Chain A
Amino acid sequence: MTPPPRRRLHHPPRDARGAVLVLLAHPDLRRSRANRRMAQALADIDGVTVHNLYEAWPDLDIDVPREQALLSNHQALVWRHPLYWYSTPAILKQWQDLVLELGWAYGPGGEALRGKPFLQGITTGGGEAAYQVDGFHQLTIGQLLAPITRMAGLCGMQALEPFVLYGTHRLDEPSLDRAALAWRTRILALRDSLTG
């Protein structure tokens, strides 16, 4: 009998490398319906590293050199998160503030991310109709994501069209599974565009 695999308390492997780095930001995956499926759909893909930020730095105390090494070891960057208060969960903001250093990610000598594709995968509670200029929230997702698109631009990354799943609470299990599959397909295409 083989012993069960050891559970790890400390993430991620320091030397993980590959084509696509997926930063997963969800504070409580036990209670997630959408993002948990999205992350699981990527679990077994070669060349894709899923890095659970809240699991690695639960107190938001991010180890900057480690995060930078992960970025350098991958060719594309993906964010996977729910929309919280029209923005990202807090840890991604903290990640931006700490990891994207002057002279590393931007500014003079800041070349580390230059040319890498950037993709954002988002889930929202609100339905698509609410995210229209004349809708309930009065702004489109594209407008709300402007600061993040600028982040990608300033770092010389190539921002791709975001992958948005609207109105998650109204979606039943099969619909969520279908969305996860579409997400998987999108990531596979991204990976293949790099290695090709």
Chain B
Amino acid sequence: MDHSLLGQAVVYLAAAMIIVPLASRLGLGSVLGYLLGGVVIGPHLLNLVGQADDVMHFAELGVVMMLFLVGLELEPSRLWRLRGPIFGLGGLQLLGTGAVLLPIGLLLGLPWQQALAMGLILAMSSTAIALQTLSEKGLMGSDAGQKSFSVLLFQDVAVIPMLALFPLLATLPGSAGDGHGDSFLDQIGALEHTLLVLAAIAVVISAGRFLVRPMMRAVARTGLRELFTAAALFIVLGVTLLMTAVGLSPALGTFLAGVVLANSEYHHELESDVEPFKGLLLGLFFLAVGASIDFPAVAAQPVLVASLVLGVSLIKALVLLGLGLAFRARRDQAVLFAVALCQVGEFAFVLLSFARGSGVLAPEVATVGVAVTALSMALSPVSFVLVERLVLPRLLGPASAPREADAIDEHNEVIVAGYGRFGQVAARFLSANGHAATLLDVDSDQIDVVARFGGKVFFGDASRLDLLSAAGAGHAKILAVAVDDPVKVKEIVHLARVHFPHLAILARARGRGEAYELVEHEVEGVYRETFDSALRAGVDALRLLGTPAAMAWRAARIFARHDEESIQVLAEHRGDQARLVHGSRERTLMLEAALRADRGIEPGEPEQAWDSEGLRRLARGDGD
């Protein structure tokens, strides 16, 4: 087999392309798809890849990027808001599950260090599977959904100290390639090393604070998209390099960098630039994990593996159930919460390979761990369906299915794309009425000006799908497209209609022509940017000419209604100049008639009719 870089790349990509779609079609999810793909190309089936370890080393960058993104998502303010459930519920879940699993590990003959590490690793749940399942069932807003989210968030954060502390549990010689045992670091003392580590962390934090902004701004001014990607990768790889050099976990460093940048206006940009690389490299990571499963070792002890899978899932579920009830969930919600998180998650793969590499877990133990994790993930959708069909109906009675609810407020309900003259007014009005909006703009100078007044606008081009979804389009209710470039407006509207059909779209139109086009997209609202102020000037002109204000106002409303209607009606002729002209003449005549009627200029003035004699005659039925 061709073991060149190119050959390997083709094998891995092919495995991903063939097996992952199959797995998602079967409802197994992409993580399991990658794992299966790895198994297929691995040494025990097709044997198409050489040393999976080399690939693993490269693919670990995917994990590093994942933690960068986790850090980016962790706005300190949000963490603070959810601190109760995150640290209370999440902390108890992790420690509680670990505490129950530890003695089991000891019983199975593991030394305490390995039993502890294994217990904590297996306590991790799968964010990918749990969130996917919950949001597919519309349960994210439910109590179970909220609790699951908090626990997963805690686990995300807990990975960091675990990565930092695992080396302390090491009892075995680690495998090569983790930056440990570096000759330079061996030469310096413990104190110097600590200082060096602290200095590196300080560098990451202050660079995130003071260097990244000017750098991104300079990049933004060039207007070159690919430079953004380069800058994002530069940040991640730079931090990785620095951390490796001082013997710290790169994942820890990038996580930190992510947190520092979470509040920056380039948050969404960075997120959408790193996301695809993370996806791909993480996929590669799972492939490599799959390929490195030691099947003979697993096959040699089928009873052990099977009972571990069932036992671990059951123990996790029971701990979760107890915690759910203790945190005052209804019984059905506690059951959902338990089954949603009872599988072992993808973080376990990361931690297992790290623990193995740093000499905490013996390779044969880690292999069993990988097998248990993979199998429990595979079982997860099945157990969810079983619980949903068999257990919940008993708890709820036949009729009441789990209630649809609002999504979690991790993003705002309104996204305003374009924070210029138009978007500002709309967003300020909303915020004055208690609805914060997620604001996006592509003008970094403008963003700086707003920031000086204490506002926060994210830098980003809303005509990019990844950016829209990073801004929360999947959960938001309304997208206000307030960009001034009509071409961009159309692009964004089109994109949102196709990919987020649930969004109500309010679109800015430069003039009539643009309005016609937007009407065809069936957006909820089209607003010609100057129409309302022009009409108000018209009203004041009428008043200065002597028309009573109330009459001028009504005339303006009639005019506006009529004009908006005519845009709806004429939109279909928009290509056909002749019909357009004819149609709008017709509409003008109708408008004039409508205005005349409202002013009471038509025959039969209403006031006169109130003359008692007139009414009496009408009542008698003899008219005039």
Contacts and interface: CB of A to CB of B under 8 A. Distances in A.
Given A9-B540, A125-B607, A55 B612 contact: no
B612 A29 contact: no
A27 B612 contact: no
Q: How large is the interface on B (under 10, 10 to 19, 20 to 34, 35 or more residues)?
A: 20 to 34
Interface string A89-126: 00100000000000000000000000000000000111
Contacts of B540: 9
A169 B540 CA distance: 32
Contact of B549 (A54, A124, A137): A54
Contacts of A28: 548, 550-551, 599-600
B553 A58 contact: yes
A59 B615 CA distance: 31
Nearest to A89: B550
B374 interface: no
Pick from B549, B599, B612 the residue with the most CB of A within 10 Å. B612
Interface string B41-55: 000000000000000
Interface string B115-151: 0000000000000000000000000000000000000
Interface in B535-574: 540, 543-544, 546-554
A31 B610 CA distance: 15
Interface string A130-165: 100000110000000000000000000000000000
Interface in A52-71: 54-56, 58-59
Given A9-B540, A9-B543, A31-B600, A54 B548 contact: yes
Contact of B616 (A59, A82, A136): A136
B611 A29 contact: no
A59 B535 CA distance: 14
A55 B600 CA distance: 19
B548 A29 contact: yes
Contacts of B77: none
B183 interface: no
A163 to B, nearest CB: 19
A133 B549 CA distance: 38
A126 B615 contact: yes
Contacts of B547: 30
B608 interface: yes
B553 A59 contact: yes
A30 B612 contact: no
Interface string B601-614: 00000011111110
A129 interface: yes
B611 A170 contact: yes
Contacts of A170: 611
B616 A30 contact: no
A31 B612 CA distance: 20
A127 interface: yes
A104 to B, nearest CB: 24
Pick from B553, B608, B616 the residue with the most CB of A within 10 Å. B553
Contacts of A91: 550
A54 B554 CA distance: 12
A58 B550 contact: yes
Interface in A27-78: 27-31, 54-56, 58-59
A7 B544 contact: yes
Contact of A129 (B548, B612, B615): B612
Nearest to B610: A125
A124 B543 CA distance: 27
A37 B608 CA distance: 18
Contacts of A27: 548, 550-551
Q: How would you classify the secondary structure of chain B's contact residues: helix, strand, loop or mixed?
A: helix
Contacts of B549: 54-56, 58
Contacts of A125: 607-612
B612 A126 contact: yes
A91 B543 CA distance: 19
A167 B614 CA distance: 11
Nearest to B539: A58
A169 B544 CA distance: 29
A130 B612 contact: yes
Contacts of B551: 27-28, 30, 58
B611 A55 contact: no
B415 to A, nearest CB: 29
Contacts of A137: 612
A169 B548 contact: no
Interface string A2-32: 0000010100000000000000000111110
B610 A126 contact: yes
Contacts of A167: 611-612
A124 B608 CA distance: 11
Contact of A136 (B546, B553, B599, B615): B615
A55 B608 contact: no
B548 A55 contact: yes
Nearest to B543: A9
A55 B612 CA distance: 30
Nearest to A91: B550
Contacts of B611: 125-127, 167, 169-170
B396 to A, nearest CB: 45
Contacts of B554: 58
Nearest to B546: A30
A24 to B, nearest CB: 11
Interface in B22-60: none
Contacts of B616: 136
A61 B600 CA distance: 24
A137 B612 CA distance: 9
Interface string A157-196: 0000000000101100000000000000000000000000
Contacts of A130: 612, 615
Pick from B547, B548, B551, B608 the residue with the most CB of A within 10 Å. B548
Contacts of B612: 125-127, 129-130, 136-137, 167
Contacts of A30: 546-548, 551
Contacts of A56: 549
A125 B550 CA distance: 22
B550 A9 contact: no
Contacts of B548: 27-30, 54-55, 58
A31 B278 CA distance: 73
Contact of A58 (B546, B552, B607, B608): B552
A127 B611 CA distance: 7
Contacts of B543: 9
B315 to A, nearest CB: 61
A169 B607 contact: yes
A58 B608 CA distance: 24
8 contacts: A27-B550, A28-B550, A28-B551, A54-B550, A58-B552, A58-B554, A126-B610, A170-B611
Interface of A: 7, 9, 27-31, 54-56, 58-59, 82, 91, 124-127, 129-130, 136-137, 167, 169-170
Question: Lowest 10 CB-CB distances: which A-B pairs, in order?
Answer: A125-B610, A58-B549, A58-B553, A130-B612, A54-B550, A58-B550, A126-B612, A27-B550, A169-B611, A127-B612
Given A54-B550, A58-B553, A136-B616, 8 more contacts: A28-B599, A28-B600, A55-B550, A58-B548, A58-B552, A124-B610, A125-B607, A136-B612
